[in-house]
């Protein structure tokens, strides 16, 4: 099976998500105020940044792998919420 994306497309998507997530924490425009006043708020922003960027990175990396596949009988549950839902992205 061929990869479902190209390296260039994968990198472009990851970079776009990274830039958007970074702009939520440290906007490039100096007139836009920084979000959060306490360390816990900064940690929450960093967690959201990590979820956005890491999720996209893993999606794109798996789309580049010719052998990335999981048999229906080997599906697991989400380690965070326990959901057994499966989301399929049609390309």
Mean model confidence pLDDT for the chain: 85
66, 2 Cβ separation under 8 angstroms: yes
Q: In this structure, is residue 50 part of a structural domain?
A: yes
Q: In this structure, is residue 85 part of a structural domain?
A: no
Domains in the chain, number: 1
The whole-angstrom separation of Cα 65 and Cα 59 is 10
Q: In this structure, is residue 54 part of a structural domain?
A: yes
Q: Which domain holds residue 43?
A: 7-74
CA 68-74-75 angle, to 5 degrees, is 80
pTM: 0.72
Q: At residue 17, does pLDDT exceed 80?
A: yes
Task: Return the pLDDT at 38.
Answer: 97
Integer-rounded Cα Rg, in Å, for the chain is 17
Q: In this structure, is residue 88 part of a structural domain?
A: no
Q: In this structure, is residue 42 part of a structural domain?
A: yes
Q: In this structure, is residue 83 part of a structural domain?
A: no
């Amino acid at each position: 099976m061929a990869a479902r994306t190209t390296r260039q497309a994968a990198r472009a998507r990851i970079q776009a998500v990274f830039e958007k997530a970074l702009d939520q924490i440290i906007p490039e425009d100096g007139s836009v105020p920084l979000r959060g006043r306490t360390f816990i708020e900064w940690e929450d922003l960093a967690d959201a940044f990590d979820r956005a960027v890491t999720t996209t990175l893993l999606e794109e990396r798996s789309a580049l792998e010719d052998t990335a596949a999981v048999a229906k009988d080997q599906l697991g549950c989400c380690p965070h919420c326990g959901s057994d839902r499966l989301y399929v992205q049609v390309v």
